Structure 1
Amino acid sequence: MKKPVRERAWPLALALFTAVTCTVLYLSSPDFLDLLELKTYDLRLRARGPIPTSELVSIVAIDERSLEEIGRWPWTRSLMADLVKRLDSYDPLGVGYDISFFDPEDNPAQAELLRLAQNAQTLGLLPNPNLLPYIKERLQNSSPDLALAEALASSRDPQILGYYFNLSQDLAPGEHTLDRAERYPAVKVVGGGQPPEVLPIPRATKARTNIRPLAEVAYSQAYFNIIPDRDGTIRRYPLAIGHGNENYLPLAAALAALTDPKAMPALEVASFGVVRSGLGKLSVPTDEHGQMILHYRGPEKTIPHVPAWKILRGEANPDLLRGRYLLVGVTAPAVFDLRVTPFGVAYPGIEIQATALDNMLRGDFMLRPSWAPMFDIAALWVLCLVCGIFLWRLKAAWSILGVLVTGGGFVLANLYLFETRLFWLNLVYPLLALTGSYLILTVYRFMFADRQKRAIRQAFSKYLDPHVVEDVVSDPEKLRLGGVKLELTVLFSDIRGFTTISEGLSPDDLVKLLNEYLTEMTDIVMHNRGLLDKYMGDAVMAVYGAPKHYPEHAEMACRTALEMMARLKELNEIWKPAGWPCLDIGVGINTGSMVAGNMGSQNRFDYTVMGDHVNLGSRLEGLNKVYGTNVIVSEFTRRSIQDKYRIRSLDLVKVKGKDQPVEIFELLAPADSPCPLGYVDRYEEGVADYRKGEFQKAQSIFREIGNEHPGDTVVRLYLERLDHLLANPPESWDGVFTFTTK
C-alpha cells in the first residue's frame, strides 16, 4: 500500500532544506569547513603518491653534510663566488638563488689593517701621503663581495638573485623600496581594464634586496616569498606581488620566463581577477589572486638534490646539473628554512620553489576550473536528493550501506578527476550535504516513521530480553503465539547444596549472595550472546542461537560455562572476608532441535524454548553431582564444537525418561589452553576397555590413575563400578549406565 502523499513529501522537503543550507554554507565559506577541505587536498596528494618530474630542475642543496664539510652558514662571499663559477662550468639553463645577500660581508682583518694605516699616517710614519688612499683602494678592490660580483658578472648563464618582499606596513632595518627597476622585471597586465594597483594580488610596500654590487651584475632579481594558507601549509605559489604601480615575478617564474627571454611576463586578468600568467612560452593558470596551485611531485627529495659540497669538490653528478635549471638554497634544518606542506612539516623551502618551476616546465598544473563552484553545488544537491528520494526508504542497515556506497562512489569519482584530470573539486561540502540529509531524515524517521516500532519496543522491553525485542521489532509477526523448530544449544546451571547454604545465612545475606551470583552469571551469558531464558530459584537457564541465530551457538554455550567457573572462583575469594560460603555449581549443556517462540496465552506469554533436548540439558546438569564434575556436555554438543575444546568422555548413559543412550563428556578447557588433566589419554583407554567389557584391563588403568590422582572423582566412580562388575559379571554388556532418578 502506498504511503500518504504528505508522508512521502516530508523526506524530500527535508533533503531540499539540507541542500539549501549547505549551499549557503558553501557560498559563505566558514573557516573550519574550508580548512577541512584543504586537509582533504593534502590527503589526496599523499594518497596519489610520488609522480615523475620534468627532469629539467635540480636543487643545489646546502645541506647538513655541506655545513659539516665546508663550514657553518652563512658561507663567505668568496666561497659563494667559487660555487657560482663551478655551477657555470656545468652550463645550466639558468641558476636561481633562494639565498639573500642583503648586507656587505664583514671583514675584520681588512678593517684592522685600514685602522693601522690611518694611525700610521696620523703619527707620520707613512713616507708618502698618497699611500693611505692607495691602501684604501686596494682593500676595497679585494672585498669578498666584489669577488662574488665578478663571478656573477662573468657567468655565461643567467644568474637570478632572490630578494624578499615585506608584506606588512612596517619598514625593518635594511629594507628599502625597489629603486633599480631594471633588475626587477615587472609583469604587464593584459585585459580586464583594471589598473595594476587594484588587482586582487598580494601587495607590498617594502622590500629587502641584495647589496648594490651584486644586484647590478646579476641577470635579474626575483622575490622568493611564499605565502601559506590560513593553516600554515604551503599549497599555492604567488606568481605576482604588487609594489607601487608594478607587479613583480617570483624566483621560479623568473627562471621559467627564460624559455623566451625576449617576451615580457604578463598577467591575464578578467573582471573577477587574475586568470593566468604568461611566462615566455609558458602559460600558467592561476586563481583570482594570481596564485598557482602547487602540484607537489612527492615528499622531500622527489626533485633531485645535489649537495653543494660535492659541487665545490668536483664530485657532483654532471647529469643532474648540465642543461637544467638550478635552484640554490639551504636545506639544513639548523638554518630553519623549512615549511609545512601536504607531504610534511619540515619541507625545504627551496624545494617548494623547485616544485613551482617544475610545474611550469612540465605543464601539469593542478586546476580549480572556473566551473568548479557550480559543479560543487550541483554535486551536493544531487547527493541530498538521492538521500531524500531513495536512501531514507531503506531499512537502517541498508540505508547506512547506501550512504556509504553513495559517498564512497562520489569520493572515488572525485579522486579519479583529481589524479587523471588534475581537477581540485570540493569533497567536504557534498559529503556534508549527504551526511546532513541522512542524519536529518534519520531523525525524522525516528520521530515519526518508526513510531510503531518504538511502541512495540516500549511495550515488550520490560519482560522480553533485548535480543528478542529487537527481533520482534524487525519482524512483528513473531508476536503471534507459537514457535519454530531450530537447532539450538541450551545451558542449565545450578548451585550445589543451596538448601544447606541458605539455612546457614541470614535472609539479607542470602539475598545479597544470590543477587551478586546471578548478576555475574547473567552478565557472562549476555556477553556471549546468549538469551537468558529464566531464573529458577538459584538455577539459570540460557539459550544460544535464538531468537538471533548464530551458527557457533554450541561454542558460545561452552565458552559461557568455562567463564562461569572462572568467575565463580574469583567471587569465592571476594566473599571469604564476609564469611559467606564458597559456592560450587554444576552446568549441563545440550544441543539439538528445539521449539523456540512465544509460549503462553493471548494475554500473557514469554519467549522460551521447549523440547526433549531442553529436558536432556536439564538432566545433564544434575548428573554433575554423580560424577563430581562441573560441566557436562552431550554428544550432540560435542559434535557441534568439534575440536575447539578439550573434553574427556564420562559415560554412556540413559537418563530418566529416555530410551536411547547418550554419551556424555566433561568440558575441560579451550583447545588452545593447556589440558588440566595430563593423563586424559590414559584415562580414555580405560573408558574404552570398560565399554568393551574388558573390566580387568580397565580396572588396572583406573587404579594406576587413581593412585597418582586420588582426587579424581570420576576415576573413583569407575573403580567402584568395576569392583561391582567383577564381583557380579553381567550376562550381557553394552557399556550403558541407566539412571532411574532425575
Structure 2
Amino acid sequence: MKPFLRVLALRLRNSWKFMLLVAVLATGSAALCQKYDLLRMSDAELGAYDQGLTFFTGGHPRSRDVVIVGIDDKTLQGIRDNEQYVRNYGVYPYSRNLWARVFEHLVDQGARAIVFDGVMDERGTDESNDLALAQVLEERGIPLTLGFNINAGQPALPRVEPVNRLPQVPTPRPAPAPEASPASAEGEDFVEAAPTGVATGDNFDDFVETEGAPPLTREEVARALAFPVHHSGLTLPTLEQTSSDDGSRLMRHPVQPLPGLVRTTPGFGLVVLEEDEDGRLRRTRFAYSDGANTYATLSLAAAADILGAERVELTPGKLKLGSRELPINPDGSAELDFGGAWKDRFEALSVYAVLEDWARREEHRTKGTAYVPAIPEGTFRNKVVLVGGLSLGTSDVKATPFQSDSPGLVKHAVMLEALLSGGFITEAPFWASLLLTFGVALFSVMLITLMRAPALEIAWPLLLFFGLFLITGLFLEHGRVHVLSAMPIYAGEVASLSAIAFNHMFANRERERLRQAFNRFLDKTLVDQLVEQQKLPSLEGETREITAFFSDIRGFSSFSERFKDDPKALVALLNRYLTRVSSVLMAHGACLDKYIGDAVVCLFGAPLDMPDHAVRACHAALAVRDEVDALRAELQKEGLPDVYTRIGLNSAEMFVGNFGSEHLLDYTAIGDGMNLASRLEGANKAYGSVIMIGPRTYELAREHIEARELDRVKVAGKEEAVTVYELLARAGELPAAKRTTVERYHRALALYREARFEEAALVLEEALAADAEDGPSGALLARCRRYALNPPPLPFDGVASLEK
C-alpha cells in the first residue's frame, strides 16, 4: 500500500496546480451558466429539484389543519341531476346563494376559517343571490377570506393606510322557521329557505343593505383589499406584466369585488399565478405591490386572520406572522413543501356532500325527522376549509412536481399548512451551493487525475450524478433546504472531462516517450503496437518470461586484424553486417538490446507482450542464419573476410527494464537466463553447430521447429544439468538427408550415454560418411574415441561442462 500512496503523492505534487485551476474554472463556468441561464441551466435545475422533491419528500402525514371542499365531478353531476338544486343554484358557475348555504353550514360544523379559491367580481343574473351571500357573511360573521383578481385594464386604487380587518366570532345560527323545510338531494321539491333578512326571488327590495347604503368609494375598496405588509430590506415583486402587443410593461391593478362583499367579507387575498417557466407550481411570493399599495396572497391573508396577526413582516430570510416566524428565502420567496400527492396530504370532500348534509340537517331541524349525516360529525371542527375547484370542468388545473394535473387550490392548501403548522423549503445560500460546486469539481478532477483508472473515468460521471442526487435529496428531506444540484453536477462533469483529457494527454506523452525510447530497438510497426497496448510496459522493471538472443562472428579478433590499417573499412563492413542482421531480427519482433562489438543481443517478449516469443526467436535465428549466408557469399565475391555467425537462444523468467546509472540508462534484461543464452552462443564452437537453444526454448517452440538434442551440459555456477538443442529448420522444412543424419546422431548419443563409446563411434562414422559437414557428429565422435581410449570415471552421467 505504501508504494501506491507514494505514487499518489507524486502525482499530486506534479498536478496540483492543474487540478486547482480546473476546479476553479469549472466552478466559475457553472456559476455563470446558473446566473445567466446558459445551456438551459434553469431547466436542468428545476428537473433535478423535482426529482429530489418527489423521491425524498413524499409521505408527509395528512394535514390536521386544512380540509378541502371542492367542486368535483360529483358536485357537477349531482346538482345537474337535481331539478330543485338547478332552480335554486343554477349550473356551474353556481349562483352566490349556494355559497351562502355552504359557508353557513361549514361554520355551523365548527370550521375555524373558510378560504375561497376564487373571485366574485361580476354580478350574477339574479342580484338577490349576491346580496343573500353578503347578508349571510354580515349576520353570521363568517370568517371568510375571498380571492380577488388583477387586470391591466383596471384603474389604479388610491394609496391608503391598510388595516387588517380581523374576522369576528361567528354569531349563533338562529332557529329556522318551522314551515321552511328544504328537500334532501333525493329530489323532493322545496323552496329554499333564506336566512332572516335575506331577499329571495323577486323580494330584492327586502334586502336591508340597499336601503340608504352609501355608495362604495375607491378608498373603501383599497382599504379592503390592501394588506399591511412591512418589508424591511426587501423589494416586493410588482404586479407588472408584459404586453403581448408591443412588449411594453403594464401595471395590473386589483379588480373590485362585488360591493356588498367588499363591506361584509373580513379578508381578501390576491389570487395570482406563480408558475415557473415550465408551467409547474413550485414556489410562492407572499406579497405584491402595484406601486401604491401592498397586497397579501390569498393563503397569507387567510393565515394572518387565523393567527390574529394585524400585519405581516417580511425581512430577508424571515416571515413573521403574529407570534409565528418562518424561514424563507433572502429575496422574500419560498418553495412549497408539497409532501406528496395532494389526495394523500389533504382530506377532500365534495361541495355536493356539504349541500346534502346541510339539507338533511335543515329537514331534521324543521321537521324533527331522523338525521343521517352525509359527512361524519367533527370533519370540519377547528379546521381551515379551503373551497374551490377540483374537477377538470372548473378549468383550474395546475402541474406540480408530484402531479401534472393537480387542482390549482392545492397550492393554497400547501401554503396554509406551511403557514399554520409546517414550514417552507428554502434555498441554501448561493455561497453554500458555490462551495459545494467547487468541492465537487475539485474532488472529481483529483479522483480521476490521481487514480488514472479507465473504469473510473467511465463510472464516475454516473456516480457523480447519483451521489449529488442523494446529497441534495437528504438536505431536502431532513433540512427542507434546496441546495442547487445542476450547478455542481455541471462543474463536476466539466472537471471530470478535463481530467480525462489530461489523463489521455499524459498517456499520449507516455506513448510518445515510449515510442522515442524503443524506436531504436523495435520495428516501427511493433512500436505502434507497443504504445497501443492497454497495459504499457514498466520501464522501472518487471519480471516476465522472454527469449534472449545472442549472436557473434567467429574469430572476430582475427577478422578485425585485417583492417588495422583501414579502420573505416572495418566500421563500414561491421555496420553492413549489423544492419542486415538487425533488420531481420526486428522484422520478427525482436527488441534490440545492445551491440557488443560484433555481437548482437536482443529480446523477444519484452517490452511487447509476445505469447509466442520462443517461436519468433527461433524463426528469427533461422532467418539470420540465411541472411548471413547470403552476406557471406556477397563478401566472398568482394574479397572481404567471412562473417560466419554463431547464435544462442534461451527462454526463461528474467527481470527486464531500464538499467544503468543517472548518466546512461539502457532497456535490457538480467538473470541466469541471459547468462545461459550467452554461453549457448559460445558453446556452438565446441559442437560445430550454428544455432544452439536452451531447454525451455525447445519446450515452447518444438511444434514449430526442427531441432536435435545435442547434449546435457552444466553451466558455470550451476549443479543442475540442462539439455541443449541445435536448431536446424522450421517445422517440416528439414531435408531428408539431414533428417537421417539427425536420427543417427540421436542413436549415437543414446549409446554414448550408456558408455558404449565404440558402438557410438561406429554410428557417427556412418553419419559423417553421409554428411561430412555435420559438426555435432564430428564433435561427439572425437569425444567417443577419447573416452574409448581413456574411459571416464564411473558411474558415467554423460553430462558435459560449459565452464569455458
| Band the TM-score falls in, shorter-chain normalisation | 0.5 to 0.7
**Matches of 1:313 and 1:615 in 2, distance apart?**
102
SS in 1 for 2:264: coil
Q: CA deviation at 1:279?
A: 2.3
Match of 1:297 among 326, 331, 339: 339
Residue pair 1:178, 1:207 contacting (<8 A) in 2 also: no
Matched residue, 1:326? 385
Tell me by how many angstroms 1:410 deviates.
4.0
Please give the alpha-carbon distance, in whole angstroms, between the structure 1 residues aligned to 2:525 and 2:352.
81
Report whether the alignment pairs 1:42 with 2:50. Answer: yes
Within the candidate set 325, 332, 341, 1:283 is matched to 325
Q: Quick one: structure 1 residues 482 and 259, their matched pair in 2 at CA, closer, same or farther if it must change by over 3 Å?
A: same
Alpha-carbon distance, 1:45 to partner: 1.2
Matches of 1:461 and 1:307, distance apart in 2: 84
Q: CA deviation at 1:187?
A: 2.1
Q: After TM superposition, give the deviation of residue 188 of structure 1 in Å.
A: 3.1
Question: Does 1:375 pair with 2:432?
Answer: yes
Alpha-carbon contact 2:237-2:288 (below 8 Å) kept: no
- For the pair shown, which has the larger CA radius of gyration, 1 or 2? 2
In the TM superposition, 1:398-413 aligns within 5 A as: 398-401=456-459, 405=463, 408-413=466-471
Distance 1:105 1:26, change over 3 A: closer
1:246 paired with 2:311, answer no
Equivalent residue number for residue 73 of structure 2: 64
CA separation of 1:65/1:210 partners in 2, compared to 1, >3 Å: closer, same or farther?
A: same
Aligned to 2:576: none
Q: 1:611 to 1:438 in 2, by over 3 A?
A: farther
Across the aligned residues of Structure 1 and Structure 2, the Cα RMSD in angstroms comes to 4.1
Residue 30 of structure 2: aligned partner: 22
Aligned to 2:227: 186
3-state DSSP of counterpart to 1:102: coil
**Cα 1:149/1:612, change in 2 over 3 Å:** farther
- Asked whether the equivalents of residues 236 and 288 of structure 2 are also in contact (C-alpha less than 8 Å), the reply is no
Closer/same/farther in 2, CA of residues 215 and 389 from structure 1, 3 Å limit:
same
Task: Indicate the residue corresponding to 2:310 in structure 1.
Answer: 264
Which runs of no fewer than 5 residues in structure 2 stay unpaired? 1-6, 81-90, 158-216, 241-250, 358-373, 548-609, 621-696, 704-804
Distance in 2, Cα, partners of 1:381 & 1:23: 10
Of the three residues 58, 66, 85, the one matched with 2:104 is 85
Contact 2:52 2:473 in 1 (8 A): yes
Structure 1 unaligned regions, length at least 5: 108-139, 484-594, 617-742
State the AA in 2 paired with 1:181. A
Superposition deviation, residue 39 in structure 1: 1.5
**Among 112, 124, 131, the residue aligned to 1:146:** 131
Deviation sequence 1:650-693 (CA, Å, 0-9, x none): xxxxxxxxxxxxxxxxxxxxxxxxxxxxxxxxxxxxxxxxxxxx
Deviation at 1:356, TM superposition (A): 0.6
Contact 1:54 1:362 in 2 (8 A): no
1:214 is matched with 261
2:450 is equivalent to residue 393 of structure 1: yes
Question: Is the CA contact 1:284–1:292 (under 8 Å) kept in the aligned structure 2?
Answer: no
Is the deviation greater in 86-95 or in 442-451? Answer: 442-451
Q: Contact 1:258/1:280 (CA < 8 Å) preserved in 2?
A: no
How far the C-alpha of 1:239 sits from its partner, in A, is: 0.8
- SS of alignment partner, residue 98 of structure 1: strand
Paired residue type of 2:230: V
How far has the Cα of 1:59 moved from its partner? 0.7
CA distance in 1, matches of 2:45, 2:419: 25
TM-score calculated relative to the size of structure 1: 0.54
Letter in 2 for 1:285: P
User: Match of 1:216, SS?
Assistant: helix
After superposing the two structures, state which structure 1 stretch, 61-70 or 222-231, moved more. Answer: 222-231
Per the TM alignment, residue 170 of structure 1 is displaced from its structure 2 partner at its CA by 4.0
How far apart in 2 are the matches of 1:179 and 1:146? 18
| 1:391/1:399 contact within 8 Å kept | yes
Q: Taking structure 1 as reference, are residues 598 and 94 closer, same or farther at Cα in structure 2, changes over 3 Å only?
A: farther
Deviation at residue 469 of structure 1 after TM alignment: 6.0
Indicate yes or no: 2:500 matched with 1:442: yes
1:351 and 2:417 are equivalent in the alignment: no
CA apart distance, 1:601: 3.1
Against the structure 1 CA distance between its residues 381 and 105, is the aligned structure 2 distance closer, same or farther, given a 3 Å change threshold? same
Q: Deviations over 1:387-437 (max 9, x none)?
A: 333431211213444565566444433222211111111111112111111
Aligned partner letter, 2:446: I
CA distance in 2, matches of 1:209, 1:338: 25
- Give the C-alpha shift of residue 471 in structure 1: 4.9
Q: Distance in 1 between matches of 2:279 and 2:537?
A: 51
Matched residues in 1 for 2:530 and 2:412: separation? 62
Question: For the Cα contact (< 8 Å) 2:104–2:140, is it kept in 1?
Answer: yes
CA deviation after TM superposition for structure 1 residue 209, in Å: 3.3
In the alignment, the residues of structure 2 paired with residue 7 and residue 224 of structure 1 have an alpha-carbon distance, to the nearest angstrom, of 57
Is contact 1:480-1:598 (8 Å) kept?
no
Aligned partner of 1:681 in structure 2 is none
> Judging changes above 3 Å, is the alpha-carbon distance between structure 1 residues 106 and 18 closer, same or farther for their aligned structure 2 residues?
same
What does 1:418-497 correspond to in 2, within 5 Å? 418-453=476-511, 470-473=533-536, 482=546
Instruction: Name which of structure 1's ranges 290-299 and 307-316 shifts more when overlaid on structure 2.
Output: 290-299
Matches within 5 A, 1:520-599: 596=611, 598=613
Q: Deviations over 1:177-235 (max 9, x none)?
A: 7751332251232533x8xxx64455553122321122221122111213111222111
> How much does 1:291 deviate?
2.4
CA contact (8 A) 2:337 2:425 kept: yes
Secondary structure of 1:316's match? coil
Does the residue aligned with 1:437 lie in a helix, a strand or coil?
A: helix
Identity of aligned residues (%): 21
Q: What is residue 441 of structure 2 aligned with on the other side?
A: 384
Amino acid at match of 2:29: T
Find 2:143's aligned residue among 151, 158, 183: 158
How far apart are the structure 2 equivalents of 1:29 and 1:363? 32
Q: Name the amino acid aligned to 2:355.
A: L
2:237–2:289 Cα contact (<8 Å) kept: no
Q: Residue 345 of structure 1 aligns to which amino acid in structure 2?
A: S
